[in-house]
Amino acid sequence: MTTFDANGITLERVREYVWEIPQEDGMRAPARVLASEALLEEIKEDKTLEQIKNTTHLPGITDHAICMPDGHQGYGFPVGGVGALDAENGCISPGAVGYDINCGVRMMRTNLTYDDLKGHEEELVDSLFANIPSGLGGGGVVEAGVDTVDEILARGVDWALEHDYAVEDDLLHCEDEGMREGADPSKISQKAKDRGKNQIGSLGSGNHFLEVQRVTDVFDDAVGEAFGLSEDQIVVLIHCGSRGLGHQTCNDYLRKIEQQHQGLLNQLPDKELAAAPAGSQLAEDYYGAMNAAINFAWVNRQLIMHRTRQVFERVFDRSWEDMEMDLLYDVAHNIAKKETHTVGDGEEREVYVHRKGATRAFPAGHPDVPKAYRDVGQPIIIPGSMGAGSYVLRGGANSMDLTFGSTAHGAGRLMSRTQAKNEYWGGDVQQQLEEQDQIYVKAQSGATVAEEAPGVYKDVDEVVRVSDELGIGDKVARTFPVCNIKG
């Protein structure tokens, strides 16, 4: 048997790109890592493998916990972690969803080509930066009272439709049509709502960004056509989440679990994995709150997209409809969803699939894929660093068998933020990107540019190659940045 020794943790090769950490003391299931040896060399360098092992201690873990090819160390659950926890006998874990509930990515198409955009880059990046709130304390597209926050939490993008921030077609190209069922605004604390009300329609900072991109490659013509993508086309990618409202909700529930379910917590190797037992009041409350925060994040991305359409209208002096600025799709990559899966013994089970830094990747024909894409599979958007390309994939035929219908979510960090700031200076990174790659970057903070420099990320090409080879998410197209704004 081929094994890989990762600083004291031995992984056994199941087949190409599939590695298993066998079940041992305290683990309720084996852990799997989906990676090439090159990616494993990077993954073994931090605590990712220890963290994916720890997640198998959660009650009700089904088949195995899985680390995606872009996995890296997080808190509790690794980033790039997928765990299906039995919805009847298992648990739901706020820590395994993460602080930024429904952090995710959406892509909007245009009918502009790169040639149409050339010469307008600076004007466009300046106008986007001036009009789309980013960073700390920058406000939101909408400043609202708590009543409005409650409506957004309950109705998601349907609220945006009513207030002319969305069109019907946007809803048809979003998971759950932009409205998560079972959302319960009353389970979100006043503190969380107070944080959220000034941030509706804002990017935040860190790794969140808005990018104007050009499509450089279409690898699969038929699926590319179904997604409306062609070479040289301009698209817009928006990456952000539920802002302070989601972060507060996660911590509110971590603390409640600590106070009410100490017994379960004491069985877990990391306090950050805190989970509420399935069927408990707290599990119900958290699920209602998380679904509401999911709606908030969708509206957040919708408002940013709406504002982006207005900016394009001004810069190009055409209506957004005329530029066919339509939503391609919106994917969440910090989320837990109750889904039905066929598990190891062939039985159908309801499980809470936790995807933290992982993206749902349902294949063609799955009833939960929106009608627009059901014949080709769900679109998956994988953002790369600001110097590398991003990818559009589609849910692969093997995803239901291998990963509870999931794949990677990005490039995955390689270098810490403190180290990045020692190695790079924001101004140099910005200048280099503009001169060498014609990428125009604008940020609230130079430190953010340094922390997000292309060199701090893993090779997104390798992450996507492994996803494609495994058949969990198949390559459809690649994009390259033109303008990037961040906090």
Partner 1 sequence: MGFELRDHTADVAVSATGDSLEATFGAVADGLAAASCDEIATESGERFSLSVTAEGREALLFDYLDELIYLRDVRAELPVDHRVDSIDVESADGTEEWALEASARGVPLAEIDAREVKAVTYSEMSLERTDDGGWEAYVVFDV
CA 287 to chain centre: 18
Q: Does 270 help bind partner 1 (rule: CB under 8 A)?
A: yes
Q: Does 269 help bind partner 1 (rule: CB under 8 A)?
A: no
Angle among Cα 203, 384, 355 to the nearest 5 degrees reads 75
Q: Which residues contact 428 (CB under 8 A, 6 or more apart)?
A: none
334 is in an annotated binding site: yes
435 is in an annotated binding site: no
412 is in an annotated binding site: yes
Q: Does 258 help bind partner 1 (rule: CB under 8 A)?
A: yes
* Residue 360, amino acid: R
Min CB(341)–partner 1 separation in Å? 28
Stretch that binds partner 1, among 56-64, 114-122, 267-275, 346-354 (CB under 8 A): 267-275
Beta strands 327-332 and 104-113, pairing class: antiparallel
Q: What does the alpha-carbon distance between residue 208 and residue 103 come to, in Å, rounded to a whole number?
A: 9
From 239, 247, 307, 309, residue interacting with partner 1 (rule: CB under 8 A): 247
Respond yes or no: is residue 409 known to be catalytic: yes
Q: Does 7 help bind partner 1 (rule: CB under 8 A)?
A: no
210 is in an annotated binding site: yes
Stretch that binds partner 1, among 363-371, 397-405, 413-421, 464-472 (CB under 8 A): 413-421
211 is in an annotated binding site: yes
Min CB(198)–partner 1 separation in Å? 7
Stretch that binds partner 1, among 4-12, 57-65, 266-274, 381-389 (CB under 8 A): 266-274
Q: Does 417 help bind partner 1 (rule: CB under 8 A)?
A: yes
The CB density around residue 161, as the number of other CB atoms within 10 Å, is: 18
| Contacts of partner 1 in 444-483 (CB under 8 A) | 444-448
Q: Does 263 help bind partner 1 (rule: CB under 8 A)?
A: no
Q: Does 155 help bind partner 1 (rule: CB under 8 A)?
A: no
* Residue 387, amino acid: G
Q: What does the alpha-carbon distance between residue 220 and residue 63 come to, in Å, rounded to a whole number?
A: 32
Stretch that binds partner 1, among 160-168, 195-203, 346-354, 434-442 (CB under 8 A): 195-203
Q: Does 271 help bind partner 1 (rule: CB under 8 A)?
A: yes
Min CB(271)–partner 1 separation in Å? 4
Angle among Cα 353, 358, 360 to the nearest 5 degrees reads 60
Stretch that binds partner 1, among 4-12, 71-79, 341-349, 396-404 (CB under 8 A): 71-79
Q: Of 288, 335, 278, whose CA–CA distance to 86 is shortest? A: 278
Per-residue exposure over 365-394, b if at least 16 CB sit within 10 Å of its own CB, e if not: ebeebbebbeebbbbbbbbbbbbbbbbbbb
64 is in an annotated binding site: no
Beta strands 348-356 and 334-342, pairing class: antiparallel
The residues that bridge with 128 in the sheet, in sequence order, are none
Q: Does 186 help bind partner 1 (rule: CB under 8 A)?
A: no
- Residues in binding contact with partner 1, number by CB under 8 A: 47
386 is in an annotated binding site: yes
Min CB(48)–partner 1 separation in Å? 8
239 is in an annotated binding site: yes
Q: Does 55 help bind partner 1 (rule: CB under 8 A)?
A: no
Q: Print the binding letters for residues 87-116 with partner 1: x by CB under 8 A, - otherwise.
A: -----------xxx----------------
Q: Does 204 help bind partner 1 (rule: CB under 8 A)?
A: yes
Binding residue numbers: 100, 207-211, 239, 333-334, 383-386, 390, 409-412, 486
Which spans of this chain sit near partner 1 (rule: CB under 8 A)? 46, 72-76, 79, 98-100, 135-137, 191, 194-195, 198-199, 204-206, 244, 247-248, 250-251, 254-255, 258-259, 270-272, 274, 413-419, 444-448, 487
Q: Which residues are documented as binding site for GMP? A: 207-211, 333-334, 383-386, 390, 409-412, 486
Q: Which residues are catalytic?
A: 409
